[in-house]
């Protein structure tokens, strides 16, 4: 860096103009222009960065490449972490699927049995519906047949009632008469046996 004292001393000519000043053809040192030391220092400070420009460009490019590499690495790390997490989740799903066939098969059997029961119940319900519909269709004829049967029974009952004959006395009196006659028969049989014996 140029010191404040050097900066404070202004050259008598602009540096580019001095650079364009032709050298004298004579080899005598007396004819060579003399520049203040401050001007030479300033010139050196201006030329040195230009001389090292290629080196600075290399450092710049290398820094830019490292930055790009860091960004790429960070993206790859993020991708790797996401992939690891996805692998863990997929492994959990795989373990669940691998452990699931037995329970799934059992569940399928239960559902199949439930389906068979429902189908059987549905078939029975359909049969019941068909039977009730048939009964409903046959109801007028059944009512007519029942009425005819009832009329026939009433007619038969009326005929039987007409054939009934009046009976005097009561059944208790008839039972008593029968018992008395049976007793007389027994005494007569006993008397015959006694006479013969």
pLDDT (0 to 100) of residue 53:
64
pLDDT (0 to 100) of residue 11:
44
CA distance 33 to 102: 104
Give the whole-number percent of the chain exceeding pLDDT 70.
Answer: 72
Q: How far is CA 131 from CA 121, 124, 128, 135, 141, in A?
A: 15, 10, 5, 6, 16
pLDDT (0 to 100) of residue 197:
63
pTM, full prediction: 0.32
Q: Are 36 and 11 a contacting pair, CB within 8 Å?
A: yes
Domains of the chain by residue range: 4-21+34-83, 100-158
Sign for the CA dihedral angle at 169, 173, 179, 180 comes to negative
**Tokens 């008395």 label which residue?**
180
The count of other CB atoms within 10 Å of the CB of residue 15 is 15
Q: Are 39 and 11 a contacting pair, CB within 8 Å?
A: yes
Each residue of 2-36: pLDDT tens digit?
443 434 444 444 444 444 455 444 444 445 455 55
CA distance 139 to 22: 139
pLDDT (0 to 100) of residue 36:
58
Residues of the chain with pLDDT under 70: 1-41, 43-55, 100, 197
């Amino acid at each position: 860096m140029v010191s404040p004292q050097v900066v404070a001393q202004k050259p008598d000519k602009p540096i580019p103009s001095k650079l364009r000043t032709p050298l004298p053809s004579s080899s005598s040192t007396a004819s060579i222009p003399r520049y203040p030391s401050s001007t030479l220092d300033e010139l050196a400070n201006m030329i040195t960065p230009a001389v090292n420009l290629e080196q600075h460009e290399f450092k710049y490019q290398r820094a830019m490449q490292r930055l790009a590499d860091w960004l790429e690495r960070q993206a790859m790390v993020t991708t790797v972490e996401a992939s690891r997490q996805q692998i863990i989740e997929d492994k959990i799903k795989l373990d669940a699927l691998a452990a699931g066939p037995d329970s799934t098969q059992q569940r399928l059997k239960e559902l199949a049995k439930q389906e068979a029961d429902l189908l059987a119940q549905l078939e029975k319900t359909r049969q019941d519906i068909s039977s009730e519909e048939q009964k409903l269709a046959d109801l007028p004829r059944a009512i007519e047949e029942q009425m005819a049967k009832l009329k026939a029974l009433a007619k038969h009952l009326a005929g039987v009632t007409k054939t009934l004959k009046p009976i005097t006395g009561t059944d208790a009196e008839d039972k008593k008469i029968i018992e008395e006659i049976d007793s007389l028969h027994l005494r007569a049989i006993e008397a015959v046996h006694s006479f013969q014996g």
